[in-house]
Amino acid sequence: MRIGKEKVSRISLAPVMLALSLAAGNFALTPSAYALSELHKIPGQPNDQPAQGSAQGQSQPQGGTTPGVPMADPLVNSQNSQGVDKTPGTQDNSKPVEVIYDISKAPEPVRKMRQQIVEAAASGDLERLRPLMGTGAEQTQVTVGEPTEDPIGTLKDLSGDPDGDEILAIMLDIVSTGFVHVGQGTADDMYVWPYFAEKDLKSLTPPERVELLRIVTAGDLSDMQEFGGYNFYRLGITPDGKWKFFTAGD
């Protein structure tokens, strides 16, 4: 999974590094590879806007996990910005949120949708996600900005392999982490995975860093810390069980 992302990263950074080297009179080219640089492929995704997140109060892992898949869901909270499309799930992160590992604390519709996503992704058949994504205004968002007519086709295009296996593996990794419940009592009420989008990545504990490195590479983590927050994939489910988004960005 990471090999595919780093390959894209090397390609996308090469023109920029070459231009800088020539301007300095130095013809040596030394591009650095960060797997998250592949996110430039997402239509409408702003790649230069900093994001930040913070969260406090993490509960200990408990029972209720899905066999073979670690439990948890975080959410995406980033700074509000005017005139720029925001990644679904981002919100005001000035208030601390609780990281939850016990899926039984989520409403039954949320638990059911998460389980269906896990089963579909684990099957290796991208098409099994389609019935879970809804249609029209209720369709699951997979890109930032304008909705796509074919979310499954878009996910396949974003994957590092022709069959979409990589994106399914990423999806499983995402819903296997701790999660957060945000926007209670508002139209943005949501259960979001992973919780890292709500955390200050520079303050992660050693166990939290290990958990994040199950999703991204060490280079990605370093890049995120410099960037100001988690900017990889995140997944959101509404309290009534609608799969709202699976997107990447800040």
How confident is the model over 232-249, as pLDDT tens digits?
999 999 999 999 999 997
Asked if pLDDT for residue 80 goes beyond 50, the answer is: no
What is the three-class DSSP state of 19?
A: helix
Beta bridge partners of 190: 182
Please tell me which of 113-117, 148-152, 198-202 the model is most confident about, judged by mean pLDDT: 113-117
- Prior bond of 74 cis (ω within 30°): no
pLDDT digits (tens, 9 = 90+) for 93-146: 445 668 999 999 999 999 999 999 999 999 999 999 999 999 988 899 998 877
When pLDDT is averaged across residues 65-90 and rounded to a whole number, the result is 43
What average pLDDT does the chain have? Answer: 74
Q: What is the pLDDT of residue 112?
A: 98
When pLDDT is averaged across residues 83-87 and rounded to a whole number, the result is 41
Buried b (16+ CB within 10 A) or exposed e, 161-190: eeebbbbbbbbbbbbbbbbbbbbeeeebeb
Asked which of 42-51, 109-118, 189-198, 206-215 is least confident by mean pLDDT, the reply is 42-51
Q: How confident is the model at residue 200 (pLDDT cuts 50, 70, 90)?
A: confident
